[in-house]
Every structure is written in structure tokens, then in C-alpha cells.
Amino acid sequence: MESKRRQPLGVELVKKGVVSESDIQKALDYQRTNPGKKIGDILNTLKLCNPTTLIQAIGEILDEKGIYLMERDVTINITDYIALDICRKNKAVPFETGAGRIKVCFSDTSNTRSVEVIRLLLLNKGLVMEKYITFEENINRILDSLEGEASENIDTSGDVSGLVDSIIKTAIEKRASDIHIEPLENSIRVRYRIDGRLVDAAKIENDKQSQIIGRLKAISNMHQEKQESQDGRILLYPEYNIRSSSQKNIYGEKFVLRLLKKNTVIRGLFDLGFPQDEKLVKKSFNKRNSITIVAAPTGEGKTTTLYSIIEYLNRPEINITTIEDPVEIRIPGLNQIEIDNKLTFSSSLRTVLRQDPDIILVGEIRDNETAEIAMQAGQTGHYVLSTIHTIDSVEVLTRLRKMGVSDYDISSTLATSVSQRLVRRICPHCAKERDFTKEEKTIMTDIMKKYGKEIDFEGKKTYEPVGCAKCNNTGYFDRIAIFEVLVINETLKELITNGKSSLEIRRKAIEEGFEPMVVDGIRKVVNGITTLDELNNKLVLY
């Protein structure tokens, strides 16, 4: 809650007679073990003075309007104005509206970026924002009450076996990809990752912690006595292969469960969001004597894209072998190898080369040894598919160079480099249609002009994320990838061979028609698939 001022907030509060010096000392002692908390929030947590008096005094010091916001003060349907995940990310709650204005409470008005994000969202709805400040605890409590739909399905009243089962089954119903079961100071927090975002699902009394941990270890086939990191699998749910991971933290052991559905139908490339261009697909992936690399940070759908490429290429006369960590989807007709403590990507790849493969999928290139063998495989009649953790398709070249792969091997073997990000689709059940604002049109037009592209906004609409039961009150449902595809042509091969920088290679690629992923992203915004705000969250456009 602090902003620029001559004296610390605690000193100002003592001067106002709201708290004593000993109260401030208690707050500072608490802050040493909770460094993320601000003094004002700590004073409220420790109940060292009247909360209404405290927040009003803080507001006066910061030249803001302070209010002790309660659920009863929220007189509007929050999701009619801002999606809940945006509220939580920016620690903001709109609570009253009238005469073209809307009152919004923030926990930190000095965070100008968050304030501006909310202001622009509301301005797009024709509302002028009136700013207030309250405690972060109040913000969280109000948002938790609205986000409690998942917890309503979790049965916390029965025995621990039933509780763990309820947590997992509710996650499956909510389309979660991961479950986080986290011991905190005074409770156990359960969160679900849905469409890439973590949402609170339940808070459980921490007196059940040891029983929950014991149950999770038992069904994961983990050692009960060990408190160091462990990995396991839960096989109790017929349609799911659930990977579990434990990690000790200061309050106990945290568990993360990854929900992998068995017999998942592999989506086609176009369904994933790949540009609707059959010629580009053939040009990018129908290769021999080469390697194709899919690049993105963790959690951006690289493996899913690899599976879709394999599905596109798979035919009875082709021998396809995959080396994965782990095998996430079992595909009929493929030879799938799962690496473990004894098998590595590089050792498995050496063996696979003696198995007469046509296409080899290597889950990830992590080191020089794997990179070199993959390159050799691509030079000896095989087509290799793999992934690399890096930010975009051009930086794949830099990453390979840092792994020690020569410029000659890169230029002669790398055929295609694909990069992607996952953005959330607007929920079709609750989205509100509206026109693009002048500011939105300017932002997108200016970006597209940089790459020689134009946008026709005629007849195009965008949508506001609202929130409903089907999308867990987020305003978004499912995700789609935005892509960029770098096909290594003769011009780029020469630049790579001559050791040119990624900046020079990017410039030449754009001259020859390469489209960065922001171009694909803006097209998906204009076509009403996602929103400019969601695209900005991934690529930071403004």
C-alpha cells in the first residue's frame, strides 16, 4: 500500500495517533518472516487497531480514499465488468456504479500498471473509474466468495480418503490440468490450473495435513517416511494417468498432481490454431534428412503440437518412434519410449537409430549430446521432431549455438522452427459482444504495419470476458495457440552458415515473408477468438 512519501507509513500512522510505536515494532517483527506483506496489511492482520480507522488513515496519508470493503458493500455483479482472474491478478474489486462512474478498490494504488489495466478495461465499457484503497485481505475474501464454485463440489466433511477423492474428481469435472495442494501457515490451500491459470478451489483445516499427505503418498506409491522430493503415479481413475510430485516447504509437503487423460483424441494442427494454410503445413513438416523444432517456454503446448504433427505424418508404411519424458498420450501404431533414471534422451536416441526409424520424436533437446545426435539423425535420412525451451523461432538458432552445435550443422539440418504461445479463448456461453475501441484499433494497426500487414475492421467485433458457471467465472473457456513458423530457406541457410546474429536473420526472414506470432495473435483477436488483453498478457504489447 506504500507509495512515495517523505516518511514511512508506520511513522505517519504513529503521528496520527492511530497506532503506537510498539504496535509498529510488532508489525516490523512480523514482516521479517513475511517479507511480502505491507505494514498496513500486517497491522490489520494482527488486529492492532480498528480496521476502519486504520484504512481511512492510510488513505489520507497516501492521498487516496480508504474504505474497509466488505461483501455487503459490493452492490454490483463484479463479473459484469471485470473477469475474476483479472480482478485477482490486479488485486482490484469494482463495488458500486452510477452516473457513468464506477468505484474500484485496490490493495495497492501505487501499482500504476494494475490501476491502468483496470481503468482502461472500464473505460472501454464507457465508465470512468473512481479509485479506492482497502486491505489485500478484504480483496481476497470477496474474490474467494465469488470463486467458491469449485469448493462447493469438494466434500470436506467426510474422511480424508473421501476428501482427496473429491478434490481429484472435482478437478476432472472442472477441466483442470493440474492440482496444487499446498500447506500454508494456517490452512491447506487447494488450487486448480484451468486453461493455464491457477484458481482457488478450497481451503482445508491444517489439522488434516498429515492425513492428506499420507493418503496422497499411499495412492501415489510413494515412501511414507520420506519428506524429500518424490515422484509417483495415481492409477485409481480409469480414464486418467495422474502424475504426482511432492516437495517439502516450510509448512509441510506440497503436492502437485498432473491430470493426463488416457486415449485423448489428438487435435489437428488447424484445430490447435496453426495458420489455415495447407501449403505451409506441407512445406514445414513433410520432410526428410532434417529436423523440425517447436520452441516455447514451459506450459505453452509444445508437446501437444508435436503429437499433432505426428498424427498428420503417421501412415502404415512409416516407422515412427518417440522418446518422451513421460509418454503423455499413447498413440496406436507408434513405438513410444519413456525415459527414466537409467534411460536418457541421448542414450535412447542412439538405440533408436538402430531400429530403422523414418521419423523420430525426441521430447526435448536439453544438452549438447542430445542436440548433436539429433542433428546426425537428421543428416542420415531421418526426420527428427523435437522441442527446445526458448522464446521464439529465431532464438532456436541461438539456443542450438549455445549448446555447441555448429553453424554448418544448423544450416544443413534445421528445416523448420516453430514457436507458439497458448492464449485463452473467449467463453462462447457468456461473452458480451462490443465494438473495438479507437485505442485498440490503433494498437493493432501500428503493430501490423511494422510487418507490412493491414487489418480490415469492417464488420469485426470483439468480446468482453464476463464469467459463468461453464468457464469457472473467468470469461474464458479452453485455449488456442498463436504460432510463428520459420522455414529455413536458402537465403537463411547462408546467413546461418556465415554466423550472422539472430537479429540479422530475423530481419531478413521478415523481408522474405516471415510473420512473428504477434501477427497471428492479432488476427485471432480481430476474428473474435481471444481478446487483446489476453494477447497482451502473453506478449506484452502495451
Which domains, ranges and CATH numbers included, belong to the chain?
Answer: 9-75+87-135 (no CATH), 147-261 (3.30.450.90), 269-421+479-516 (3.40.50.300)
DSSP state of 267: P
What is the C-alpha to C-alpha distance for residues 464 and 431, in angstroms, rounded to an integer?
6
Task: Return the bridge partners of 249, or none.
Answer: 252
Q: Using pLDDT thresholds of 50, 70 and 90, give the confidence band for residue 54.
A: very high
> 472-520 pLDDT, tens per residue?
888 899 999 999 999 999 999 999 999 999 999 999 999 999 999 999 9
pLDDT of 529 strictly over 90: yes
Q: Which three cell numbers stand for residue 29?
A: 517483527
**pLDDT tier at 142, thresholds 50, 70, 90:** confident
Q: What is the pLDDT of residue 227?
A: 80
pLDDT at 291: 96
Q: pLDDT higher for 238 or 147? A: 238
CA-only gyration radius of the chain, Å: 26
Q: According to the model, what pLDDT value does residue 6 have?
A: 59
For position 38, what pLDDT does the model report? 87
* Phi and psi angles of residue 361, each rounded to the nearest 5 degrees, phi first: -105, 120
CA distances from 367 to 253, 370, 372, 374, 402 (A): 31, 6, 9, 11, 10
Confidence of residue 156 (pLDDT cuts 50, 70, 90): low
Instruction: Give how far Cα 437 sits from Cα of 118, 124, 440, 460, Å.
Output: 15, 7, 5, 12
Q: How confident is the model at residue 2 (pLDDT cuts 50, 70, 90)?
A: very low
- Per-residue pLDDT at 12 exceeds 90: no
Element containing residue 305 per DSSP (H, E): helix 302-313
21-59 in b/e burial notation, b at 16+ Cβ within 10 A?
eebbebbeeebeeeeebbbbbbbbeeebbebeebbbbbb
Mean pLDDT across the chain: 89
φ/ψ of 333, rounded to 5, equals 90, -10
Q: Cell 517416511 identifies what position? A: 225
Kind and range of the H or E element at 479?
A: strand 476-487
246-255, 339-348, 459-468: which is most confident: 246-255
Is residue 67 a contact partner of residue 55, using CB atoms and an 8 Å limit?
yes
Residue 277 has pLDDT above 60, yes or no: yes
- With a CB cutoff of 8 Å and minimum separation 6, the contacts of 410 are 375, 397, 400, 401, 496
Q: pLDDT tens across 391-413, in order?
A: 999 999 999 999 999 999 999 99
The residue among 435 and 288 whose pLDDT is bigger is 435
pLDDT surpassing 50 at residue 1: no
| pLDDT band, very low/low/confident/very high, at 370 (cuts 50, 70, 90) | very high
Residue 264 has pLDDT above 90, yes or no: no
For the stretch 170-189, pLDDT in tens is 999 889 999 999 999 889 99
Task: Give the pLDDT score at 468.
Answer: 84
Residue 451 DSSP symbol: T
Q: Do the bridges between strand 65-66 and strand 128-133 make them parallel or antiparallel, or are there none, so unpaired?
A: parallel
